[in-house]
Structure 1
């Protein structure tokens, strides 16, 4: 469980996601009398995988890669080459590293490296991925890249890197992380079910400078609990 007074000041939240060209719905023009095409999507969708971490002191470097990530890739490319330099530089006074329980994260190779290099893996509640603030980052990244409509892999990678460089400032990272104060009480209240954008719609005020206890207490109000029930039922 996450303590109600948790501030996440020393936590590095991490995750992976996938971005691809042709993520938007594609259309095709046809004569009125002709049959609609059965498939307008390209046969081979070009995609890249992305790993990143955020903290209240800023973001790690973003790593863009092809293919499947396994432990043999995860340890040297992410833990050693990307995460550890960030920890050494930004968190010399101590840290907690959050990641999910994916097999590549929990492999013997990964565990041994983290132990040997003093990477403090913070076990994270598995009830709902909604609590991880980097999920909001991925949503924003995908919207940002989609609006720019990349047509080549080079453009796709360029737009990802530009977003990360300009948007993932310490202030923006802190804003994403503080959103947990809204999300966690809602997730607990609905038994770990996915909540999507419901916490943001339920609580209109900013979460910056607040606490989980504040939003938990608000959620105790019968009127707000009823509103949450309706929102969950409308999905």
Structure 2
């Protein structure tokens, strides 16, 4: 609720002096009844309705300067709070103060990844099925040793809440996890690689690119495009130089866009089948071996372009609308709404 100005407070006191009730004054002033009552009490105790001195650091910006800050960011929505503090106040006002003033004006900083996703989809709007077939979609995923989704039910009688037979210990951190790497395209899939240790640029090159990616790209013909996200091991100079020297064409990929990758549906299938095994793995080594085994057992139809990659198919005969993408995920329809690019 906004604070009343001194003029509004004096007006409220004048209305009270003429016999108007506190409730009616609060309704006219657009504030709570307690606020008017506090003004009246303050007047009787101190002889004025002005605020009492309050502890805390005084404001470093005036009302006019606050309006200047807001106006600057309304004229240029991409200017940073730090640059505003330096240019308007010579660095005397911190970036956090600038952000506080902007939030008071209901301006909030937002990342513009959605626009980047939209532009990426625009660039690939007229890709045909053959174009998508030549893309090798790949990603890493983590799987935990134990799985608990919060939906565990226990059958018990009244009064057996704390009975030992009705209590199940659950490891909140999953009992350890393994990271795996896999890739698919319109006609084939790679092997599932279990990453050993931490995944950095050197490990990514030595455990994934050299033993698996290069043979896969060579075996399925020239002209393939390699897709990878913008994780640090993927964009490091070591990785970038290696892919360039190997002559591998890398697809430009927007930031923070896991839902654009159709291999996410494969990870979902892999996780569901892992949780359905009768004899679950007991350690990380067994977990990695079981993931590789399940990956091999998944029918090829799941990986086929028809089911996943062709979910991103285009139709050049349609107008440039959301109908271009009949997607496995609804994210393309979301980004192709013109209103979402504001």
TM-score, normalization: structure 2? Answer: 0.50
Root mean square deviation, CA, Å: 3.1
Map of 1:187 onto structure 2: 331
Matched ranges for 1:1-235 at <5 A = 1=120, 2-7=124-129, 8-25=132-149, 32=160, 34=162, 40-41=170-171, 45-91=175-221, 93-126=222-255, 128-148=257-277, 150-152=280-282, 153-167=284-298, 169=300, 172-174=303-305, 175-180=307-312, 181-183=325-327, 186-191=330-335
Local SS of the residue matching 2:275: helix
Identify unmatched segments of 5+ residues in structure 2: 1-119, 313-324
> 1:159 and 1:151, CA in 2 relative to 1: closer, same or farther beyond 3 A?
closer
Residue 155 of structure 1: how far off its partner (Å): 3.5
Local SS of the residue matching 2:304: helix
Local SS of the residue matching 2:218: helix
Map of 2:88 onto structure 1: none
Residue 158 of structure 1: how far off its partner (Å): 2.9
Residue 69 of structure 1: how far off its partner (Å): 0.5
Residue 120 of structure 1: how far off its partner (Å): 1.0
In structure 1, distance between residues paired with 2:133 and 2:208: 22
> 1:25 and 1:122, CA in 2 relative to 1: closer, same or farther beyond 3 A?
closer
In structure 1, distance between residues paired with 2:274 and 2:133: 29
Cα-to-partner distance string for 1:39-69 (whole Å, 9 max, x where unaligned): 6327771211110000112011110124321
> 1:102 and 1:37, CA in 2 relative to 1: closer, same or farther beyond 3 A?
same
Q: Which has the larger radius of gyration?
A: 2
In structure 2, distance between residues paired with 1:124 and 1:56: 19
Asked if the contact 2:194/2:288 (under 8 Å) is kept, the reply is yes
In structure 2, distance between residues paired with 1:67 and 1:21: 16
Residue 178 of structure 1: how far off its partner (Å): 1.6
Residue 5 of structure 1: how far off its partner (Å): 3.5
Q: How many positions carry a matched residue from both structures?
A: 193
Moved more, 16-25 or 39-48: 39-48
Map of 2:59 onto structure 1: none
- Higher relative strand content: 1
> 1:163 and 1:65, CA in 2 relative to 1: closer, same or farther beyond 3 A?
same
> 1:43 and 1:124, CA in 2 relative to 1: closer, same or farther beyond 3 A?
closer
Query: Which structure would you say has the larger RCO, counting Cα contacts within 8 Å and 6 or more residues apart?
Result: 1
Local SS of the residue matching 2:136: strand
Residue 164 of structure 1: how far off its partner (Å): 1.7
Cα-to-partner distance string for 1:151-195 (whole Å, 9 max, x where unaligned): 32343223211222122627733122122343389424434xxxx
Residue 101 of structure 1: how far off its partner (Å): 0.7
Cα-to-partner distance string for 1:78-115 (whole Å, 9 max, x where unaligned): 11111001111122x21100010111101000011001
> 1:67 and 1:177, CA in 2 relative to 1: closer, same or farther beyond 3 A?
same
Identify unmatched segments of 5+ residues in structure 1: 192-215, 221-235
